[in-house]
Amino acid sequence: MTDLIKLRGVDKYYGDYHALRDINLTIRAGEFFSLLGPSGCGKTTLLRVIAGFEGVSGGTVMISDKDMADVPPNQRPTNMVFQSYAIFPHLSVGENVAFGLRKSGLNKADKASAVEEALSMVGLAGYGKRAAHALSGGQRQRVALARALILKPKVLLLDEPLSALDKKMREHMQVELIRLQRAVGITFILVTHDQEEALVMSDRIAVMFAGEIGQLDDPETLYRRPNSRRVAEFIGKMNFLPGRVTATGDTITLDIAGFGVTDVPAVQAPEGATLGEAAIGIRPETLAILFDGEKASRHEAAAVVDEVVYYGDMTYYDVRVNNVPEPLTIAMKNMIGRPVLDVGAQTRIAWDERAIVVF
Amino acid sequence: MKLRVYAIAYLIFLYAPIILLPIFAFNDATIIAFPLSGFTTEWFAELTQNRALHAAVQNSLIIAVCTAVFATILGLCAARAGAMSDFPGKKGITGFIMLPLVLPEIIVAVALLVILRQVLGLSLGNWTIIMAHVLICTPFSIAILNGAFGALDPSMEEAALDLGESRWSAFRLVTLPLVMPGIISSMLISFTISLDEFIIAFFLTGSNPTMPVYIWGLLRFPKSLPVIMALGTILVALSVILLTIAEIFRRRGVRRAGGTDTGGFL
């Protein structure tokens, strides 16, 4: 894949407020890229910088190797789906979608067929004559997509496009967006604060905190090997145990509170390991409660159930393990014949050193 | 129950004088007093004959239309800037623009008279009244248009820009149609304010009086009182109609821009 968007040392100040700090980022042609982070982390600002709605205080934005410094938003090869969708309420659905074609020089018939094509692409064929203000949330979003995609931009920018939809609709639109992106082959840049949405949809994700990119990776690496505690805490759940690194090299030797001594490959310390105190991260679903007679394939430890949260398909246990200061959260699938334990129950848990992340 | 009695008494107190206008406008006597002596449309007929009055009405209409247009243009610029852009000292400037709303008109009138006549040595005419009326109407215009712009999603104009339009055509194609009800509402209210404004017009009028100033002049002749009543009746009806239209447009604007109604004048 070729590089489409290059950000080099991008800074953005609002007065004294440092909204973007030295952002270096390369986005490839045709990928589904997500900017993920808590509110106020600068992800929307970064999107608006790419769209041209915000200037930069320093650094360069290149699209297709062309410096965008003096290119206004109406001349950039980008189109945006706004968080509010910004559907023009005084125009019909068809007029909304055709809005960007005003300067295209197409004749009326060509415009009409382009509009119809764009509408059917988002599943709204035949809606052209409807009044825009009478649409539902999901339909508005589709209109916004059709309106942006009709111009065949190189990049489609999506600013929290699913946040206004209810859960069912959101999950449905996630799949539709992926399908649409594969069909049109246009680079999508999605801004979201929803980690699950980012994991489901993206080829690569940049996690942002306080104007900086904390980690940029594909979803699996991001989830399995977060490079810092804040990334680990933002994406999914993670237990943290105190521990010590006693030897470094190709394998790292760890002494984990309550769990004992184990060796892990160096790759499990994404930022490298140094001798001494370390935080040991382990995801709830990589731990397991051992029911009667079950044996751990790697290691096990004795535990007492501290809290039980039943979710239907899953049960989340908080368990106490000797010498571990905080209770550990364990996610268990509720399978046939497997009981839900009570608070206070004595049990054993299984853990696997391959699932450990060293911070 | 008690509350209802108070409410009705209060409404009578408020509107009785206005209700008296049409009653005496159709009363067949030159003296304004009960009992009524019969129905006539004589006073309205007399209105149509009065040349000086026609000239005054024409003056007032010219002034009111110009005021409505200029005040609304200024209000549009101010509200647009206030709603969609950030600049240093925005709050202070906005407050300063709204100041004439609470400034006593007599002070504005005297100050303008002194400046125009004594300092600048200009002669008075319709344009001096227009200037002063624009000054007092602009805050109203801004208040109305602030509502229209406040209800407007700022992404709308950006979306148009993003779809390839220039800043001006984005404003013209998207923002302007969406705030148009507010613009019409602002023009109607400015028009109404200017049409019956007396104090400033009285101070700044040249040789051709406006309608309110002319009516004030008529008051010296008791015989013309019923004619004033007739004129007053027409003016009240006109004001109510214009304000109602203005309010309808204001509400439509808020609805169209997708916001919820948070007040207004009626």
Q: Does B153 touch chain A (CB under 8 A)?
A: yes
- The first and second tokens of residue B170, run together, are 């984005």
Question: What integer pLDDT is reported at residue A238 of this predicted model?
Answer: 92
Question: What integer pLDDT is reported at residue A328 of this predicted model?
Answer: 92
Per-residue confidence in pLDDT tens, chain B, 266 aa = 678 888 888 888 888 888 888 887 787 777 777 777 777 887 888 888 888 888 888 889 999 999 999 999 999 998 888 877 777 777 788 778 788 888 888 888 898 889 888 788 777 778 888 988 998 899 999 988 988 888 888 889 899 999 988 989 999 999 998 888 889 889 988 998 898 888 888 888 877 888 888 888 888 887 778 888 888 888 888 888 888 887 887 777 666 655 555 545 44
Q: Does B172 touch chain A (CB under 8 A)?
A: no
For B163, the closest chain A residue by CA position comes to A100
- Exposed e or buried b per residue across A168-197, where buried means at least 16 C-beta atoms within 10 angstroms of its C-beta: eebeebbebbeebbeebebbbbbbbbbbeb
Q: What fold does the segment set A237-358 form as a domain?
A: OB fold (Dihydrolipoamide Acetyltransferase, E2P) (2.40.50)
Tell me where in chain A the CATH 2.40.50.140 domain(s) lie.
237-358
Contact B161 A74 (CB under 8 A): yes
Q: Does A283 touch chain B (CB under 8 A)?
A: no
Q: What is the pLDDT of residues A263-284, one digit of tens each?
A: 888 888 888 888 889 899 999 9
- What is the set of domains in chain B, with CATH numbers? 52-83+93-256 (1.10.3720.10)
State the sign of the Cα–Cα–Cα–Cα dihedral A104, A108, A110, A113. positive
**Contact between A281 and A359 (Cβ < 8 Å):** yes
- Judged against a pLDDT cut of 90, whether residue A125 lies above it is answered with no
Q: Report d(CA B143, CA B35) in Å as an integer.
A: 45
Contact A72 B160 (CB under 8 A): no
What CATH class does A3-229 carry? alpha beta
List A353's β-bridge partners, or say none.
Answer: none
Across chain A, mean pLDDT equals 90
User: How close B256 gets to chain A, by Cα (Å)?
Assistant: 7
Q: Does A55 touch chain B (CB under 8 A)?
A: no
In this complex, the residue of B153, B165, B174 whose CB is nearest that of residue A84 is B153
Question: What integer pLDDT is reported at residue B19 of this predicted model?
Answer: 82
**Contact between A343 and A305 (Cβ < 8 Å):** yes
- Give the confidence band of A203 by pLDDT, cuts at 50, 70, 90: very high
Q: What is the pLDDT of residues A211-264, one digit of tens each?
A: 999 999 999 999 999 999 999 999 989 999 999 999 888 889 999 888 888 888
Write down how long chain B is: 266
Question: What integer pLDDT is reported at residue B41 of this predicted model?
Answer: 80
Question: What integer pLDDT is reported at residue B227 of this predicted model?
Answer: 81
ipTM summary value: 0.80
Question: What integer pLDDT is reported at residue B257 of this predicted model?
Answer: 55
Q: Report d(CA B98, CA B65) in Å as an integer.
A: 21
Question: What integer pLDDT is reported at residue A191 of this predicted model?
Answer: 95
Question: What integer pLDDT is reported at residue A304 of this predicted model?
Answer: 92
User: How close A53 gets to chain B, by Cα (Å)?
Assistant: 8
Contact B153 A53 (CB under 8 A): no
Contact A86 B256 (CB under 8 A): no
Tell me where in chain A the CATH 3.40.50.300 domain(s) lie.
3-229
**A contacts of B170 (beta carbons < 8 Å):** 74
Contact A80 B159 (CB under 8 A): yes
Question: What integer pLDDT is reported at residue A90 of this predicted model?
Answer: 86
Q: Does A103 touch chain B (CB under 8 A)?
A: yes
Q: Does B158 touch chain A (CB under 8 A)?
A: yes
In this complex, the residue of B163, B174, B258 whose CB is nearest that of residue A100 is B163
CB neighbours of B206 closer than 8 A, spacing ≥ 6? Answer: B123, B124, B125, B126, B128
Question: What integer pLDDT is reported at residue A78 of this predicted model?
Answer: 92
- The first and second tokens of residue B235, run together, are 């003016």
Q: Which of A2-6, A37-41, B62-66, B252-256 has the lowest mean pLDDT?
A: B252-256
Contact B162 A51 (CB under 8 A): yes
Q: Does A79 touch chain B (CB under 8 A)?
A: yes
